[in-house]
Amino acid sequence: MSTSPSVRGGARPPRQPKPPVLLEVVATERISAHLVRLTLGGPGFADYQDKDATDKYIKLMFADPALGLTMPYDMENLRETLPPEKMPVRRTYTVRSVDHRAGTLTVDFVVHGDEGLAGPWAANARIGDPVTFGGPGGMYLPDPAADWHLLAGDESAVPAISSALEAMPSDAVGLAIIEATGPEDEVALTAPEGIEVTWLHRGGIFTPESTKLAHAVIEAPWREGDVQVFAHGEREMVKDLRRYLADVRGVDRRRMSLSAYWAYGRAEEAFQAEKSEPIGQIFPDA
Indicate the pLDDT class of residue 12, thresholds 50, 70 and 90.
Answer: low
Domains 21-137 and 148-280 share a fold: no
The CATH code that applies to domain 21-137 is 2.40.30.10
* CATH T-level topology, domain 148-280: Rossmann fold (3.40.50)
Confidence (pLDDT) at 286: 56
Burial (0-12, 13-18, 19+ Cβ within 10 Å), 166? middle
Strand spans (E) along the chain: 21-32, 35-41, 57-62, 89-99, 104-110, 130-137, 148-153, 173-180, 194-201, 227-234, 256-262
Torsion of Cα atoms, 114 then 201 then 55 then 247, to 10°: 120
With cut-offs at 50, 70 and 90, classify the pLDDT of residue 24.
Answer: very high
Pairing type for strands 130-137 and 21-32 reads antiparallel
More reliable by pLDDT, 7 or 222: 222
pLDDT of amino acid 63: 93
pLDDT attached to residue 209: 93
Q: What pLDDT is stored for residue 124 in this prediction?
A: 95
* Domain-wise residue ranges, the chain: 21-137, 148-280
Q: Are 53 and 104 in contact (CB under 8 A)?
A: no
